[in-house]
Chain A
């Protein structure tokens, strides 16, 4: 590939593939105001069903496409019926979290069934290329373009001329009014999920054939790209999603042409953040349109937090503090060290997501910033490790807050998307900024933990160190929540307009929350870097962000003690039950789903 025409063709073809995912997301958002994070998993399932059909059953291409579309649609219907319909009357964040849980479960099931190794998915089409102008185009390109255009036309006709299509459009514009016309909203949801899943599944199949390879990492990437395209086009806007997808494909393709392959995703997420900040309703929304989000913070399940007497907390802290003196195995200490590190991250996230209501899906980026800062300070500038970790915390606080601050004007789901994108951007910058971060090689030989010249290498000393740091952070956060500042945070969460009317500066308080939260997460990342002695751009990934969110919801959003209890539970229980590593993510996904369905306020209640 050399000519600009080639890059344009490639961009449009890839854009077509994104469109199949994004249109489904837009339909679902339109009808139920939900960003379906399981869309990429359906795409993944589609790719693997296609692989089974092509490689094992040797189906001809048209039949393969039909099989994939029907099977994926079934998966979509099952998700809607059993995963989301029971949540219809719960808090607004519940369905979003459920789709995240569902995507974990589906991805892991695919991985356990087919192994995480990539598989080749042959395209079944002759490998010839036609010359057009200065570029070339192959039969697969034409197939993808054909499928994209055909499904767009079919969808248009369906929405405009069929009764169900009218019902979908009416529901998207006013759900209650549609019900009063006799529209069965459950059927509309079903239809939309079925269509979205069929399109997503076929998209996965086509992508697999295009790159002649499928693997389980495709899922998250597809969701992210679909979300980018959908938001660029305007959430819920179906034609907008198509145009947003083509635009995204072109931006990526030209970005790759100029800077190289590893920049592809960076351009995608930068485009997303720019659109979110400048035109949160998408490129094509008219100015009069109100953002499709509730105006007040209905994100937290209301509950009365479980009161834990002070003496019980003191006793528990005391027991954990003297634990290393008791005859416990190193294995137990090791597990608890992991729990304390996750606990610090959870403290940070429970403040940001729970107390002030900004549900962050990119929190691992704060770990990464802290880890890289601390590692580089100690390696390059020979800063003592203790100070370097504090430096990591400060850097996470400063940089994290600076990165998120343009998105302070966003609300609800849009905050989640922005944080997710920023998390990805941080990871991609680490990957590409080789002169500082050493790029894909990562940083090795990070000095071990030490304090005032004494190296902390024994599990006991590491245990004590991490435990003390976490307790100090928790105490600080507890003080913070009881203060005037904590009340202001909660006021902003519960009703930002009312809070502003009372003279609270939203930006200032959001900054303060991210500064404090960024510091805690950065310290956690810093300690982790010195413990692991090797880190790279994938050490702190989206999976950890979601794990942290699960911990925080398990403990109860905003609940300081809950965050730590949640961390101990999610790190400890798989160890207690000796669950094999490959099943853990599956378990986390199931835990998240069950929590959202049966106990959205978590174990200890939201605060």
Chain B
């Protein structure tokens, strides 16, 4: 039994997940300490996105536990989990394409009822993401991929979450936007929001993460501080373009 450290905000403990007969997770244990950025690395079909779905309650594990701030999330529906303080930036952003940018950002505050504070937070988002200011009444579907990523992040922040989970936030973005997104994740984190992100691009993720886990076909094969992992030869070979071809 690997007990999660007491300061863990989010902890997955011995999670086993199945799609029908096929097992996706094998005794998966991950913990996200308060105030940290934790990154889950892995290739295609390693079970990364399913980990996101487990946290958000979109998929239920067969065994194991998921706790947030000490309380189990397993019996809760997705909206209830969101109300506990977890916001998400889904894979491929999943904006409401036919709603305006403004409506999309405000949808993030769906769980809140404090109108004035919501309006203030919207202004805050526009300082954090200045480009969105001119786009507010535009259809979200008409934005570029990078701009959509900004909207998705603003939308997630609008619920004033304690934690944000992100599924491949840099996927499909131009290099310029990749740097911008990483910088923003750091900013968000500095303001006290814990971050759990799933990434394929290990070198980028390890730049900003405090800790990282490496997932391979449903099992954690490597974990530790981001700094240590960056120099780990196994990581270098698998993800950072090591000398031998895999």
Docked Cα-Cα span, A181 to B87, in Å, equals 7
B:105-158 near A, CB below 8 Å: 106-108, 110-111, 155
B79 near A166 (CB under 8 angstroms)? no
Known contacts A174-B94, A177-B90; decide if A183 and B79 are in contact (CB<8 Å). yes
B27 on the A face (CB < 8 A): no
A182 near B96 (CB under 8 angstroms)? no
B98 near A181 (CB under 8 angstroms)? no
Output the nearest chain A residue to B140 by Cβ-Cβ distance. Answer: A173
Given A170, A176, A185, which contacts B107 in the complex, CB threshold below 8 Å?
A170
A181 near B58 (CB under 8 angstroms)? no
CB distance from A91 to the nearest CB of B (A): 14
Known contacts A174-B94, A176-B58, A176-B94; decide if A181 and B110 are in contact (CB<8 Å). yes
Output the nearest chain B residue to A186 by Cβ-Cβ distance. Answer: B77
Output the nearest chain A residue to B99 by Cβ-Cβ distance. Answer: A169
CB distance from A361 to the nearest CB of B (A): 30
Docked Cα-Cα span, A178 to B107, in Å, equals 8
Q: What are the residues of chain A within 8 A of B82 when measuring CB–CB?
A: 179-182
Given A163, A169, A181, which contacts B155 in the complex, CB threshold below 8 Å?
A181
Q: What are the residues of chain B within 8 A of A179 when measuring CB–CB?
A: 58, 77-79, 82
Chain B residues bordering chain A, tally (CB within 8 A): 24
Docked Cα-Cα span, A166 to B98, in Å, equals 12
Docked Cα-Cα span, A229 to B83, in Å, equals 39
B97 on the A face (CB < 8 A): yes
CB distance from A308 to the nearest CB of B (A): 26
Contact with B along A138-172 (1 / 0, CB 8 A): 00000000000000000000000001001101100
Given A163, A181, A185, which contacts B108 in the complex, CB threshold below 8 Å?
A181
A184 on the B face (CB < 8 A): yes
Contact with A along B87-104 (1 / 0, CB 8 A): 110100011111100010
Output the nearest chain A residue to B155 by Cβ-Cβ distance. Answer: A181
B90 near A169 (CB under 8 angstroms)? no
CB distance from A163 to the nearest CB of B (A): 7
Docked Cα-Cα span, A97 to B88, in Å, equals 35
Q: What are the residues of chain B within 8 A of A163 when measuring CB–CB?
A: 110
CB distance from A417 to the nearest CB of B (A): 23
A:194-209 near B, CB below 8 Å: none
Given A177, A184, A185, which contacts B96 in the complex, CB threshold below 8 Å?
A177
Output the nearest chain A residue to B97 by Cβ-Cβ distance. Answer: A173
CB distance from A189 to the nearest CB of B (A): 13
Given B87, B99, B111, which contacts A173 in the complex, CB threshold below 8 Å?
B99
Given A173, A180, A183, A185, which contacts B98 in the complex, CB threshold below 8 Å?
A173
B:193-220 near A, CB below 8 Å: none
Given A176, A183, A185, which contacts B110 in the complex, CB threshold below 8 Å?
A183
Known contacts A176-B58, A181-B155; decide if A170 and B99 are in contact (CB<8 Å). yes
Q: What are the residues of chain A within 8 A of B155 when measuring CB–CB?
A: 181
B:35-79 near A, CB below 8 Å: 56, 58, 77-79
Contact with B along A109-126 (1 / 0, CB 8 A): 000000000000000000
Docked Cα-Cα span, A413 to B123, in Å, equals 44
Q: How many A-B residue pairs have CB under 8 A?
A: 62
Docked Cα-Cα span, A424 to B140, in Å, equals 41
B96 near A173 (CB under 8 angstroms)? yes
B90 near A176 (CB under 8 angstroms)? yes
Docked Cα-Cα span, A181 to B155, in Å, equals 9
Docked Cα-Cα span, A185 to B80, in Å, equals 12
B56 near A180 (CB under 8 angstroms)? yes
Q: What are the residues of chain B within 8 A of A177 when measuring CB–CB?
A: 90, 94-96
Q: What are the residues of chain A within 8 A of B56 when measuring CB–CB?
A: 180
B13 on the A face (CB < 8 A): no
CB distance from A12 to the nearest CB of B (A): 28
CB distance from A588 to the nearest CB of B (A): 33
B14 on the A face (CB < 8 A): no
Given A169, A176, A182, which contacts B111 in the complex, CB threshold below 8 Å?
A182
B159 on the A face (CB < 8 A): yes
B88 near A180 (CB under 8 angstroms)? yes
Q: What are the residues of chain B within 8 A of A180 when measuring CB–CB?
A: 56, 58, 78, 82, 87-88, 90, 94
B96 near A169 (CB under 8 angstroms)? yes
Docked Cα-Cα span, A181 to B90, in Å, equals 11
Q: What are the residues of chain A within 8 A of B97 when measuring CB–CB?
A: 173-174
Q: What are the residues of chain A within 8 A of B107 when measuring CB–CB?
A: 166, 170, 178, 181
Docked Cα-Cα span, A174 to B58, in Å, equals 14
Docked Cα-Cα span, A178 to B103, in Å, equals 12
A182 near B79 (CB under 8 angstroms)? yes
Q: What are the residues of chain A within 8 A of B111 when measuring CB–CB?
A: 181-182
CB distance from B105 to the nearest CB of A (A): 11
Known contacts A167-B110, A177-B96; decide if A184 and B79 are in contact (CB<8 Å). yes
Q: What are the residues of chain B within 8 A of A174 when measuring CB–CB?
A: 94-97
Docked Cα-Cα span, A598 to B192, in Å, equals 49
B103 near A166 (CB under 8 angstroms)? yes
Q: What are the residues of chain B within 8 A of A167 when measuring CB–CB?
A: 110
Docked Cα-Cα span, A231 to B87, in Å, equals 36
Q: What are the residues of chain A within 8 A of B94 when measuring CB–CB?
A: 174, 176-177, 180
Docked Cα-Cα span, A174 to B155, in Å, equals 14
Output the nearest chain A residue to B112 by Cβ-Cβ distance. Answer: A182
CB distance from A437 to the nearest CB of B (A): 47
Docked Cα-Cα span, A274 to B106, in Å, equals 40
Output the nearest chain B residue to A184 by Cβ-Cβ distance. Answer: B79
Known contacts A176-B90, A180-B88; decide if A166 and B110 are in contact (CB<8 Å). yes
CB distance from A52 to the nearest CB of B (A): 39
Q: What are the residues of chain B within 8 A of A182 when measuring CB–CB?
A: 79, 82-83, 110-111, 159
20 further contact pairs, Cβ within 8 A, besides A179-B79, A179-B82, A180-B58: A163-B110, A166-B103, A169-B99, A170-B96, A170-B99, A173-B96, A177-B90, A177-B94, A177-B95, A178-B96, A179-B78, A180-B87, A180-B88, A180-B90, A181-B82, A181-B111, A181-B155, A182-B110, A183-B79, A184-B79
Show the binding face of B for A, using Cβ within 8 Å. Answer: 56, 58, 77-79, 82-83, 87-88, 90, 94-99, 103, 106-108, 110-111, 155, 159
23 A-B pairs within 8 Å (CB atoms) are namely A163-B110, A166-B107, A169-B96, A170-B96, A170-B99, A173-B96, A173-B97, A174-B96, A176-B90, A177-B95, A177-B96, A178-B107, A179-B58, A179-B79, A179-B82, A180-B58, A180-B78, A180-B94, A181-B108, A182-B79, A182-B82, A182-B111, A183-B79
7 nearest A-B pairs in the assembled complex, by CB-CB distance = A182-B111, A182-B82, A177-B94, A179-B78, A173-B96, A182-B79, A181-B110
